[in-house]
Amino acid sequence: MLELLIIILLILWLLGYFGRRGGNLIHILLILILILLVIRLLG
């Protein structure tokens, strides 16, 4: 489930990067997901 979410966010980030729409929001979401992933792996 978590891996699927990461893949979806990566696809959205690529679309945002090439489309120049919502790129900053997606970058913030990716950072939050990475932080949550690290916390989950350490916990």
Pairwise CA distance, residues 12 & 42, whole Å = 27
Q: pTM, whole model, 2 decimals?
A: 0.49
pLDDT at 22: 61
Judge whether 39 and 32 are in contact, CB under 8 Å.
no
Domain ranges of the chain: 2-42
Judge whether 22 and 16 are in contact, CB under 8 Å: yes
For the stretch 2-43, pLDDT in tens is 778 777 777 777 776 666 666 677 677 778 888 888 888 888
